[in-house]
């Protein structure tokens, strides 16, 4: 995956924001979005955009399912399978001309978050998903209890 060099920080809703005016053409920004290489794309922005040819990358929401990468691009209603090493042709009112979005490898987008943090869930060596899930649940409840104990709500 490629990243736009001008992407800065996060917005309050967890998405990315772009330096300057407007979003990158053809890009769906938000939680779980990655900027992916494109090939011969012609795209426009979601709001008041003009068509732009030779778009070299677009951002799309990425969903990881088992060892599969699914993408949801601007104007799409659903996530579509995007096998590594292949490409998809986006079909929406924000794309024209038959360009393609290159599919990322699972390891590139599903094992780390866009901010560089890990998305890997460590499991016990015996592969016990139930024990790992229970341990994670206990940890989350402990954290929530600690937060609740510290947060004071004014009356």
pLDDT tens per residue, range 54-107: 999 999 999 998 889 999 999 999 999 999 999 999 999 999 999 999 999 999
Q: Residue 148: pLDDT above 70?
A: no
Domain boundaries, the chain: 7-119, 121-155
Instruction: List the structure tokens of 15.
Output: 């998405």
Beta-bridge mates of residue 81: 70
Residue 55, token pair as written in the block: 């778009």
More confident residue, 43 or 152: 43
Cβ-defined contacts of 44-48 (< 8 Å, 24+): 44/94, 45/94, 46/74, 46/94, 47/22, 47/23
Question: 10: which 2 tokens?
Answer: 């996060």
Give the integer Cα–Cα distance in Å for 40 and 9: 28
Per-residue pLDDT tens digits for 2-35: 444 344 444 433 344 444 346 789 999 888 889 9
> With contact defined as beta carbons under 8 Å apart, do 44 and 94 qualify?
yes
Tell the CATH topology of 7-119.
2.30.34
């Amino acid at each position: 995956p490629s990243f736009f060099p001008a992407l800065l920080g996060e917005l309050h809703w967890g998405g990315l924001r772009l330096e300057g005016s407007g979003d990158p053409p053809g890009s769906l920004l938000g939680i779980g979005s990655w900027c992916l290489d494109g090939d011969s794309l012609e795209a426009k922005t979601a709001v008041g955009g003009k068509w732009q040819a030779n778009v070299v990358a677009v951002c799309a929401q990425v969903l990881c399912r088992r060892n599969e990468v699914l993408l949801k691009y601007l104007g799409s209603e659903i996530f579509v399978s995007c096998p590594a090493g292949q490409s998809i042709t986006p079909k929406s009112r924000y794309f024209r001309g038959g360009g393609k979005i290159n599919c990322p490898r699972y390891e590139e987008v599903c094992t780390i978050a866009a901010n560089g943090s890990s998305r890997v869930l460590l499991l016990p060596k015996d592969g016990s998903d139930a024990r790992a899930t229970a341990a994670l649940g206990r940890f989350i409840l402990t954290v929530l209890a600690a937060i609740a104990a510290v947060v004071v709500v004014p009356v």
